[in-house]
């Protein structure tokens, strides 16, 4: 029996500001396990792109290998996608971004893809502050090879395999903070009301935006002793605050009286409003963000929400001073100096 | 003792310590020979080290125009005390031994079959040059000045060169010229007529240039419109990207903003480097990378992706000695098989074999056209000898009417008019589908690129016949490539001759010279210089018209010979390997001797 | 909101829009699946059990199911349920053997049916298998009532009608034809245990007081009677220019029949606007296709008669009687409604009438104020349609059975509910869960030129097996219910994410209006229910808007804990004796 999704949608689907309905952001039917957190993230991406809004064909989807990296087939079917090789998505994304700086690069990776085989490429794309959104669908295990612990599995966490993980875990958010990411956030696939605004903010920020999303693996790592299970995350998550992203050119009507609201204005004029918990740290202070992560970790709490946001770093193009024109659109006339110049150049070699 | 005497036909070897500034002095010398109109071919024999280890610079002067390495040296300029003994011992009888006579040559240096020329370089510098920092550097210029006298070259060509070199900083030219004159004067005074070697002005080099292959490749990339380079430093390819960097700074800066119409990213490793190229090329930029053997090994995974997902990649492999780290600063042609079949599964890649700077320039431009036309990797197989040594070359030219062949790419207007489109649909029968760049059209032309098995519409598939169909289509594309790649260069000296030789790249100058040597001995050998893989039909036609074909290459395992056997049906014995793989460039003497021996062995066995 | 009580059979029944809308609650999705499987006889019997005249209704039903069909809310057009019923009838094998066994030994109770239309026949069908003696009286020479006398045979061939009537009569119904009952009082003396009156609404309304009515009588006909006359062969021609007055289905039948009897210029005149016509849209469409214009906004003022001959009519346009509009014609057919008239029911019997044409009855039991007398069909509630008559027949049969057994008529038998899980394996369901994209299939018709020449020729050819199958597969299987078990839910959102029509939500609870507004897609169709779960672990509830659920099963497919289950709900409306 085949497995397809009906073409019919709710007849009242409203168009966004660009005239697209949510349907225009959908992709093919997922072939991941039923209940996989990744599917929820795919849907959050669809929702974020629809709400922001972005034009579907101006988005480029990038991924590596693994369950997570299959997902770009499941959202934004009108966007080009590139499912590359294991752990190497950052390189492909870097090249693609170099070729055309005007598109929105949406990288999707997993914890194996990012924290193990791709850790090198991950750190370097962060330190170059490539203008992209990098979403980690973090389930603490290798799904496609049937449930081995990954490098983000917490020490002592036990997957379906039954043996507690003996190794220290890598906190990708903390790592990204240390090496210069412009935007760092942590979400949970089971909380779209938080995840969608996080993704929208990430897409609005210039530079490297990491959204590490804890995404339970229902098949291999949703056990009662796993720290990446729906139940554990629900019991231990604590948000830095709730987030609103007000896009540019939209009147800010929300009235934030309380002193606990922090505003961050982005390069394009969007404003992130963060309604913080009592005693929360500033999200524009890198060191405070690292402190917050560490102190929560010490208490076995999972800090979620926007951890850090600084939109003024300058992305790779700014760092290496490339032209503002997309390189893939420059004409031969402007690239090839011509024979006269060549002959002049030849003189130097005589 | 019979002194070696020759006009415009000699090899001079400079023995230096690296990091001592000798390179520019030695270049100055080679360039002077070039500017005197005499064919010259310098070779850098250097260690994988930055400072303090021995390095040699071998300059072959050949009025006949033989640019391959000859082997042996007629004169050694022995400035390196670490190798003094070795340099002394290896000098051919009748040769000349020039050394810094500030310190007396020890007693045991007592050969009687050579001419020893002592120049007190340190002494001269200490007494005549005030700035202590300059003394060390200018010591090298002093021996160049001495050579100018010993070899009858005159000073003018050197001083002209220095003036040109320091055009923008004339104050720097002055001490150099002074050093030249010091050496020249000393030699003329103390060693008049000591040397039987002579270099005299000719017009052989009219119009020609002198350039290394890496610069030529970089210039080719500039002219081909490359805008993105991802790379990782590795000898001997590094200067390709560095030259591209400087060319783009010269020709691609926007005057107002200073922003550059090129993005060059030094990657974290070669994997990332080629990944960036794939990403950029996929997104419609002309992108390339340059590496050497170890980098090529790392790039295998991605090359398979590019082959299977059909993405243009232009990759320069400046080959060095392997396996593993091998000898990073020595030359070899030993990546042929790994490049031809790079990556797991059934893969094969287009290879181009440049044999000189001009071909480097042209093949770079053609390589981009080929890569984009074929939507597949194209690997330019240079080597350290070509890449890092200066070669005399015909000047480059660019046809301003030439348009880049960007291959089959659909524009928004094309997409608008299309009813059916599949990224991997072979509508033209050449095995090549039409691709689209991201962001082209709001609703048409988007597809999902993947290294997993896909059907004509880029959708994932594990259906056996669909996979097979795709792989067979890639073979059709391979045949298209065969029609498009540069044809070999054939030289049929005698149509009746049944002996042939096949070679490529930097083996070519020595091979041609060897064939001349053999011809002079009455042995005629027809030749074919390979310029690309897949092999064009002429290659088999050439093999078929000969009984024995010598395959000359610089590796241990006869890689091109194996490739010929793998790709064609023929008796293996027909292809006779001539293999040179010690890390030094192959010589005509070696080749001619191997062929001579092989032919004699056969004759005697009959 | 309180958690939805899905144990109430009416909750799921309501989700099955077609069945819920059908007066006799035919289990439509069930028989459509059988048609798709090529099990035509099985499909027929499901129908027969429920609506008694599948072959007839597959042609002439008013099809209230189709406007209700869920598919019409997500696709351009609903499933062609009615014509699929015909597919079952057309392609079935012999079904005679499947008919209920009639007890040889009767139960000793005698029931009389007055009038031989669909309501009475339904009563007979329901009571015969229970052992009743049933005597049927009709003033015509053949049984069938409205179906025979007033539905033209180009829409309903006689053999179809006869076949389905015979299934009932062959059960052993005693028929008394050409037998007009003129006095109920006398009739009651026959001592029947119960009497069912299903005399229909046999009289068409006339316009007796309109000027010129008398003078033009030869060329002025009450439409429904005229159709009967044509059906019985009494009339076979009509004037070249004919006006049909009225906008109901009878008017449509009249005008189309007029075309077939030689009417070259046939026009329909209606008081109101076309949008407000009573006729079914497809009937209007059929008439228009036969080049019959519909003139709106004219009220009849006068039949214009000159030299004893009708030459046309005057109409008031928009109530303006001063400037009448004249339309010339040779013949007028009046289709302005039907009337009942119980002149034969004596007042002293105590059987109360509401007015001249409707009795006072208990609408649930159909019992009149004379306990042993029951009404059904158009005679009970006024002019409706065949399927309503059947539904009322079923209810009357239940009442009569209860009455004869001395039981409380108010305690109605409960509907039969059969629930069956549909999961077979991964991506594998017993029902065909795939939602096809096919558009509504067109029913092929005989060429207009040909059909106009032969009034007996059925215009519609019906679906062939292939298009029938395609059409049947358009059914969304609304009877396969999404059943949610809140205790098993881990709130992973998989169901909400996959749902094509965004029906499923996990939100904080609230009052219905508030909840409806807060759904991902606000639930504006208040005629459709919200399915609300118990409180989940996060304190939220699952809220599903039943409105545009496609019953595709993807929620259950993607649920890792089987908190969603696809369960087929077979709702079988109760019949007499159950």
Sequential DSSP letters for C455-497: TTS-SB----HHHHHHHHTT---TTEEEEE-GGG-----HHHH
Amino acid C234: pLDDT: 77
For chains C and A, tell me whether 3 or more CB atom pairs sit within 8 A of each other: yes
And the tokens for B320? 């060095």
Query: What would the mean pLDDT of B257-264 be, rounded to a whole number?
Result: 97
Whether residue A118 is predicted with pLDDT greater than 70 in this model: the reply is yes
What number of residues does chain B have? Answer: 606
Quick count: other Cβ atoms within 10 Å of Cβ B301? 20
Q: Do B219 and A345 touch (CB under 8 A)?
A: yes
Both B224 and B347 in a single domain?
A: yes
Quick count: other Cβ atoms within 10 Å of Cβ A53? 19
Provide, as residue numbers in chain B, all residues whose Cβ is less than 8 Å from the Cβ of A335. 225, 227, 252, 261
Whether residue A133 is predicted with pLDDT greater than 50 in this model: the reply is yes
* Rounded CA separation B264/B276 (Å): 10
At the top level of CATH, the class of C205-338 is alpha beta
The answer to whether B287 contacts chain A (CB < 8 Å) is yes
Q: Do A92 and B275 touch (CB under 8 A)?
A: yes
Q: What are phi and psi of C60, to 5 degrees?
A: -120, 10
Both B166 and B220 in a single domain?
A: no
Residues in Cβ contact with A307 at an 8 Å cutoff, skipping those fewer than 6 apart = A173, A177, A184, A185, A186, A240, A283, A289, A292, A293
Residue in A77, A95, A328 nearest the CB of B230: A95
Cβ proximity of C9 and C20 under 8 Å: no
- Domain spans, chain C: 102-202+340-404, 205-338
> What CATH number does the domain located at C102-202+340-404 have?
3.50.50.60
Quick count: other Cβ atoms within 10 Å of Cβ C181? 19
Q: Do A8 and C490 touch (CB under 8 A)?
A: no
In A, minimum Cα distance to B278 occurs at A92
The 10s digit of each residue's pLDDT in C533-563 is 999 999 999 999 999 999 999 999 999 999 9
The 10s digit of each residue's pLDDT in C137-149 is 999 999 999 899 8
In C, minimum Cα distance to A14 occurs at C521
Q: Do C521 and A10 touch (CB under 8 A)?
A: yes
Burial bucket for residue A193 (CB in 10 Å: 0-12, 13-18, 19+): exposed
Does any domain span residue B404? no
Residue in A3, A8, A218 nearest the CB of C74: A8
C59 Cα to chain A: minimum distance (Å): 30
Please, what is the average pLDDT of chain B? Answer: 96
Q: Do A91 and B230 touch (CB under 8 A)?
A: yes
Q: What total of structural domains would you count in chain B?
A: 4
Provide, as residue numbers in chain C, all residues whose Cβ is less than 8 Å from the Cβ of A74. none
The answer to whether A73 contacts chain B (CB < 8 Å) is yes
Q: Which of A30, A79, A98, A320 should one mutate to test binding to chain B, selecting the residue with the greatest count of B CBs within 10 A?
A: A98
The answer to whether C475 contacts chain A (CB < 8 Å) is no
CB pairs under 8 A between A and B: 228
Both B383 and B523 in a single domain?
A: no
Residues 261-320 on A with a CB inside 8 Å of B are 316-317, 320
The answer to whether B35 contacts chain A (CB < 8 Å) is yes
Q: Do B281 and A335 touch (CB under 8 A)?
A: no
Whether residue B445 is predicted with pLDDT greater than 70 in this model: the reply is yes
Query: What would the mean pLDDT of B227-245 be, rounded to a whole number?
Result: 97
Whether residue B289 is predicted with pLDDT greater than 60 in this model: the reply is yes
Q: Do B282 and A92 touch (CB under 8 A)?
A: yes
Residue in C73, C554, C560 nearest the CB of A218: C560
Which sign, positive or negative, has the C-alpha torsion B514, B517, B522, B528?
positive
Both B446 and B548 in a single domain?
A: no
Integer-rounded Cα radius of gyration of chain B? 27
Reported as half-sphere exposure (CB side, CA atoms, 13 A), residue C26 has a value of 33
C439 Cα to chain A: minimum distance (Å): 12
And the tokens for B528? 């074919």
* Rounded CA separation C499/C556 (Å): 10
Residues 417-456 on C with a CB inside 8 Å of A are 427-429, 434-435, 437
The model's confidence at residue B47, banded by pLDDT at 50, 70 and 90, is confident
The answer to whether A67 contacts chain B (CB < 8 Å) is no
Whether residue C342 is predicted with pLDDT greater than 90 in this model: the reply is no
Going by DSSP bridges, is the β-strand pair C309-317/C298-306 parallel, antiparallel, or unpaired?
Answer: antiparallel
Both B493 and B478 in a single domain?
A: no
Amino acid B276: pLDDT: 98
Residues 558-577 on C with a CB inside 8 Å of A are 558-561
The 10s digit of each residue's pLDDT in C248-299 is 888 999 999 999 998 999 999 999 898 888 888 888 999 999 999 999 999 9
Does any domain span residue B403? no
The model's confidence at residue C340, banded by pLDDT at 50, 70 and 90, is low
In C, minimum Cα distance to A23 occurs at C500
> Which residues partner with A293 through β-bridges?
none
Both B60 and B116 in a single domain?
A: yes
Cβ proximity of B374 and B481 under 8 Å: yes
Amino acid A1: pLDDT: 44
Going by DSSP bridges, is the β-strand pair B40-45/B54-62 parallel, antiparallel, or unpaired?
Answer: antiparallel
Both B46 and B65 in a single domain?
A: yes
Residues in Cβ contact with A350 at an 8 Å cutoff, skipping those fewer than 6 apart = B35, B208, B209, B210
Residue in B222, B449, B452 nearest the CB of A81: B449
Quick count: other Cβ atoms within 10 Å of Cβ A169? 20
Provide, as residue numbers in chain A, all residues whose Cβ is less than 8 Å from the Cβ of C76. none
Whether residue B489 is predicted with pLDDT greater than 60 in this model: the reply is yes
Provide, as residue numbers in chain C, all residues whose Cβ is less than 8 Å from the Cβ of A2. 427, 434
Residue in A5, A10, A36 nearest the CB of C554: A5
Provide, as residue numbers in chain B, all residues whose Cβ is less than 8 Å from the Cβ of A132. none
Provide, as residue numbers in chain C, all residues whose Cβ is less than 8 Å from the Cβ of A222. 490
Residues in Cβ contact with B327 at an 8 Å cutoff, skipping those fewer than 6 apart = B48, B320, B321, B583
Amino acid C7: pLDDT: 92
Provide, as residue numbers in chain A, all residues whose Cβ is less than 8 Å from the Cβ of B259. 321-324
Provide, as residue numbers in chain A, all residues whose Cβ is less than 8 Å from the Cβ of C493. 39-40, 43, 189-190, 192
Specify the 3-state DSSP secondary structure of B447.
coil
Amino acid B204: pLDDT: 96
Please, what is the average pLDDT of chain C? Answer: 93
Whether residue C18 is predicted with pLDDT greater than 60 in this model: the reply is yes
Both B586 and B561 in a single domain?
A: yes
Which residue segment(s) compose the domain that B512 sits in?
A: 489-605
Does any domain span residue B402? no
Please give the ipTM for the structure prediction: 0.96
Q: Which of C72, C426, C516, C558 should one mutate to test binding to chain A, selecting the residue with the greatest count of A CBs within 10 A?
A: C558
Which sign, positive or negative, has the C-alpha torsion C446, C447, C448, C452?
negative
Tell me, which fold does domain A22-328 have in CATH? Rossmann fold (3.40.50)
Strand order in the sheet with C220-222: C220-222, C331-334, C241-245, C265-269, C294-295
> Which residues partner with C295 through β-bridges?
C269
And the tokens for A223? 């056990």
* Rounded CA separation A338/C321 (Å): 91
A102 Cα to chain C: minimum distance (Å): 30
Whether residue B606 is predicted with pLDDT greater than 60 in this model: the reply is no
The answer to whether B251 contacts chain A (CB < 8 Å) is yes
A89 Cα to chain B: minimum distance (Å): 8
The answer to whether B108 contacts chain A (CB < 8 Å) is no
Whether residue B365 is predicted with pLDDT greater than 60 in this model: the reply is yes
The model's confidence at residue A252, banded by pLDDT at 50, 70 and 90, is low
Distances, alpha carbon A288 to alpha carbons A236, A309, B128, C444, in Å: 21, 12, 64, 75
Both B585 and B509 in a single domain?
A: yes
* Rounded CA separation B428/B438 (Å): 23
Whether residue B324 is predicted with pLDDT greater than 90 in this model: the reply is yes
The answer to whether A224 contacts chain C (CB < 8 Å) is no
Specify the 3-state DSSP secondary structure of B117.
strand
Cβ proximity of A235 and A304 under 8 Å: no
Residues in Cβ contact with B506 at an 8 Å cutoff, skipping those fewer than 6 apart = B68, B331, B333, B355, B383, B385, B386, B554, B585, B586
Query: What would the mean pLDDT of A253-275 be, rounded to a whole number?
Result: 73
Amino acid C543: pLDDT: 98
Does any domain span residue B124? yes
For chains C and B, tell me whether 3 or more CB atom pairs sit within 8 A of each other: no
Cβ proximity of C366 and C375 under 8 Å: yes
Whether residue B102 is predicted with pLDDT greater than 80 in this model: the reply is yes
Can you give the CATH number for the domain in which B55 is found?
A: 3.40.920.10
Whether residue A272 is predicted with pLDDT greater than 90 in this model: the reply is no
Q: Do B282 and A93 touch (CB under 8 A)?
A: no
The model's confidence at residue A249, banded by pLDDT at 50, 70 and 90, is low
């Amino acid at each position: 029996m085949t497995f397809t999704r009906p073409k019919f949608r709710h007849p009242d689907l409203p168009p966004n500001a660009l005239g697209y309905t949510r349907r225009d952001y959908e992709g093919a039917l997922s072939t991941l396990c039923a209940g996989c957190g990744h599917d929820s993230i795919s849907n959050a991406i669809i929702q974020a792109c629809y709400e922001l809004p972005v034009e579907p064909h101006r988005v480029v989807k990038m991924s590596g290998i693994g369950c997570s990296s299959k997902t770009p087939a499941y959202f934004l079917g009108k966007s080009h996608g590139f499912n590359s090789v294991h752990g190497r998505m950052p390189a492909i994304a870097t090249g693609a971004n170099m070729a055309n700086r005007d598109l929105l690069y949406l990288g999707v990776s997993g914890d194996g893809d990012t924290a193990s085989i791709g850790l090198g490429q991950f750190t370097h794309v962060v330190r170059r502050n490539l203008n992209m959104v990098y979403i980690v669908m973090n389930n603490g295990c290798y799904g496609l090879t049937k449930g081995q612990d990954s490098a983000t599995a917490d020490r002592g966490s036990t997957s379906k395999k039954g043996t507690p993980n003996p190794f220290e875990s890598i906190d990708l958010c903390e790592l990204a903070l240390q090496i210069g990411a412009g935007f760092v956030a942590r979400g949970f696939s089971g909380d779209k009301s938080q995840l969608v605004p996080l993704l929208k903010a990430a897409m609005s920020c210039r530079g490297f935006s990491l959204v590490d999303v804890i995404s339970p693996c229902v098949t291999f790592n949703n056990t009662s002793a796993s720290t990446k299970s729906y139940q554990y995350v629900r019991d231990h998550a604590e948000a830095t605050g709730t987030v609103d992203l007000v896009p540019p050119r939209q009147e800010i009507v929300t009235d934030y009286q309380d002193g606990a609201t922090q505003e961050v204005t982005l390069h394009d004029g969007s404003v992130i409003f963060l309604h913080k918990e009592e005693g929360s740290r500033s999200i524009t202070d890198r060191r405070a963000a690292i402190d917050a992560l560490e102190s929560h970790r010490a208490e076995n709490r999972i800090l979620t929400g926007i951890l850090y946001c600084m939109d003024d770093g300058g992305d790779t193009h700014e760092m290496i001073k490339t032209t503002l024109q997309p390189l893939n659109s420059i004409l031969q006339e402007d690239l090839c100096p011509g024979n006269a110049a060549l002959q002049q150049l030849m003189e130097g070699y005589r | 003792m019979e002194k070696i005497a020759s006009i415009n036909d000699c090899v001079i070897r400079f023995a230096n310590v690296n990091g001592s500034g000798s390179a520019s002095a030695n270049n100055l010398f080679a360039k002077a020979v070039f500017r005197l109109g005499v064919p010259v071919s310098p070779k850098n024999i250097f260690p994988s080290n930055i400072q303090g280890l021995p390095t040699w610079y071998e300059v072959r002067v050949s009025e006949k125009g033989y640019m391959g390495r000859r082997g042996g040296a007629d004169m050694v300029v022995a400035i390196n005390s670490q190798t003094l003994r070795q340099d002394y011992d290896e000098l051919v009888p009748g040769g000349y031994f020039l050394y810094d006579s500030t310190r007396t040559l020890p007693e045991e240096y007592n050969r009687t079959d050579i001419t020893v020329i002592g120049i007190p370089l340190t002494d001269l510098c200490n007494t005549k040059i005030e700035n202590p920092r300059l003394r060390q550097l200018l010591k090298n210029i002093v021996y160049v000045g001495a050579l100018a006298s010993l070899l009858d070259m005159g000073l003018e060509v050197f001083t002209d060169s220095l003036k040109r070199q320091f055009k923008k900083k004339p104050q720097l030219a002055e001490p150099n010229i002074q050093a030249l004159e010091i050496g020249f004067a000393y030699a003329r005074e103390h060693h008049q007529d000591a040397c039987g070697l002579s270099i005299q002005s000719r017009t052989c080099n009219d119009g020609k240039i002198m350039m290394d292959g890496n610069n030529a490749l970089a210039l080719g990339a500039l002219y081909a419109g490359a805008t993105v380079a991802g790379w990782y430093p590795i000898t001997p390819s590094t200067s390709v990207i560095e030259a591209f960097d400087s060319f783009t700074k010269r020709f691609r800066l926007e005057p107002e903003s200073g922003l550059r119409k090129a993005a060059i990213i030094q990657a974290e490793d070669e994997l990332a480097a080629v990944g960036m190229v794939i990403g950029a090329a996929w997104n419609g930029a002309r992108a390339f990378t340059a590496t050497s053997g170890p980098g090529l090994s790392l790039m295998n995974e991605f090359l398979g992706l590019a082959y299977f997902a059909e993405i243009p990649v232009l990759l320069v492999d400046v080959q060095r000695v392997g396996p593993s780290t091998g000898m990073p600063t020595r030359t070899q042609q030993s990546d042929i098989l790994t490049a031809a079949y790079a990556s797991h599964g059934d893969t094969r890649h287009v290879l181009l074999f440049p044999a000189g700077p001009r071909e480097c320039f042209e093949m770079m431009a053609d390589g981009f056209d080929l890569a984009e036309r074929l939507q597949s990797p194209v690997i330019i197989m240079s080597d350290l000898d070509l890449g890092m040594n200066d070669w005399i070359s015909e000047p480059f030219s660019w046809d301003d009417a030439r348009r880049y062949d960007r291959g089959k790419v659909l524009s928004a207007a094309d997409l608008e008019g299309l009813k059916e489109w599949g990224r991997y649909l072979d509508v033209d029968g050449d095995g090549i589908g039409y691709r689209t760049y991201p962001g082209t059209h709001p609703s048409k032309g988007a597809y999902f690129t993947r290294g997993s098995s896909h059907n004509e519409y880029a959708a994932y598939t594990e259906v056996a016949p669909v996979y097979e169909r795709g792989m067979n289509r890639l073979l059709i594309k391979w045949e298209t490539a065969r029609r498009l790649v540069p044809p070999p260069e054939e030289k049929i000296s005698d149509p009746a001759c049944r002996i042939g030789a096949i070679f490529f790249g930097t083996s070519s100058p020595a091979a041609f010279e060897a064939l001349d040597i053999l011809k002079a001995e009455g042995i005629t050998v027809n030749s074919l210089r390979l310029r690309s893989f897949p092999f064009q039909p002429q290659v088999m036609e050439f093999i078929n018209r000969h009984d024995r074909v010598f395959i000359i290459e610089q590796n241990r395992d006869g890689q091109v010979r194996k490739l010929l056997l793998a790709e064609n049906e023929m008796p293996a014995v027909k292809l006779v390997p001539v293999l040179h793989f010690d890390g030094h460039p192959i010589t005509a003497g070696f080749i001619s001797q191997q062929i001579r021996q092989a032919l004699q062995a056969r004759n005697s066995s009959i | 909101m309180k958690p939805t009580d899905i144990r109430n059979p009416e909750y799921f029944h309501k989700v099955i829009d077609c069945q819920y809308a059908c007066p006799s609650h035919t289990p439509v999705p069930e028989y459509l699946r059988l048609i798709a499987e090529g099990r035509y006889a099985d499909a027929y019997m499901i129908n027969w059990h429920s609506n008694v005249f599948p072959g007839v209704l597959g042609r002439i039903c008013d099809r209230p199911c189709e406007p209700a069909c869920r598919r019409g809310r997500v696709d351009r057009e609903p499933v062609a349920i009615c014509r699929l019923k015909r597919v079952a009838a057309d392609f079935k094998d012999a079904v005679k053997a499947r008919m209920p066994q009639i007890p040889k030994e009767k139960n000793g109770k005698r029931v009389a049916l007055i009038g031989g239309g669909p309501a009475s026949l339904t009563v007979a069908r329901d009571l015969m298998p229970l052992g009743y003696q049933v005597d049927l009286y009709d003033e015509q020479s053949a049984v069938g009532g409205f179906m025979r006398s007033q539905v033209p045979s180009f829409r309903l061939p006689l053999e179809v009608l006869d076949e389905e009537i015979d299934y009932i009569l062959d059960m052993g119904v005693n028929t008394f034809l050409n037998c007009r009952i003129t006095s109920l009082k006398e009739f009651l003396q026959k001592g029947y245990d119960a009497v069912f009156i299903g005399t229909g609404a046999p009289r068409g309304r006339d316009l007796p007081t309109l000027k010129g009515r008398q003078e033009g009588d030869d060329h002025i006909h009450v439409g429904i009677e005229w159709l009967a006359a044509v059906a019985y062969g009494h009339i076979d021609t009509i004037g070249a220019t004919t006006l049909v007055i009225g906008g109901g289905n009878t008017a449509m039948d009249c005008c189309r029949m007029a075309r077939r009897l030689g009417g070259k210029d046939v026009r329909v005149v209606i008081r109101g606007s076309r949008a407000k016509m009573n006729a079914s849209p497809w009937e209007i469409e059929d008439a228009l296709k036969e080049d019959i214009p519909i003139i709106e906004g004219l009220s009849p003022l006068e039949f214009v008669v000159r030299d004893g001959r009708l030459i046309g009519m005057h109409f008031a346009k928009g109530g303006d009687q001063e400037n009448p509009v004249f339309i010339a014609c040779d013949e007028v057919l009046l289709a302005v409604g039907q009337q009942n008239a119980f002149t034969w029911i004596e007042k002293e019997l105590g059987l109360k009438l509401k007015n001249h044409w409707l009795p006072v009855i208990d609408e649930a039991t159909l019992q009149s104020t004379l306990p042993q007398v029951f009404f059904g069909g158009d005679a009970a509630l006024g002019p409706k349609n065949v399927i309503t008559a059947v539904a009322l027949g079923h209810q009357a049969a239940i009442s009569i059975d209860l009455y004869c057994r001395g039981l409380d008529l108010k305690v109605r038998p409960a509907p039969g509910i059969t629930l069956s899980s549909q999961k077979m394996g991964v991506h594998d369901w017993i029902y065909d869960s795939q939602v096809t994209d096919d558009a509504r299939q067109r029913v092929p018709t005989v060429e207009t030129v040909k059909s106009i020449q032969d009034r007996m020729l059925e215009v519609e050819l019906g679906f062939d097996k292939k298009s029938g199958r395609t059409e049947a597969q358009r059914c969304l299987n609304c009877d396969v219910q999404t059943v949610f078990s809140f205790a098993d839910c881990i709130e992973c959102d998989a169901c909400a994410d996959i749902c094509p029509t965004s029906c499923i939500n996990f939100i904080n609870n609230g009052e219905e209006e508030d909840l409806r507004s807060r759904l991902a897609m606000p639930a504006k169709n208040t005629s459709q229910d919200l399915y609300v779960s118990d409180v989940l672990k996060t304190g939220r509830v699952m809220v599903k808007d039943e409105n545009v659920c496609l019953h595709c099963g993807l929620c259950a497919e993607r649920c890792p804990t089987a908190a969603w289950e696809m369960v087929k709900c077979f709702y079988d409306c109760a019949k007499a004796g159950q």
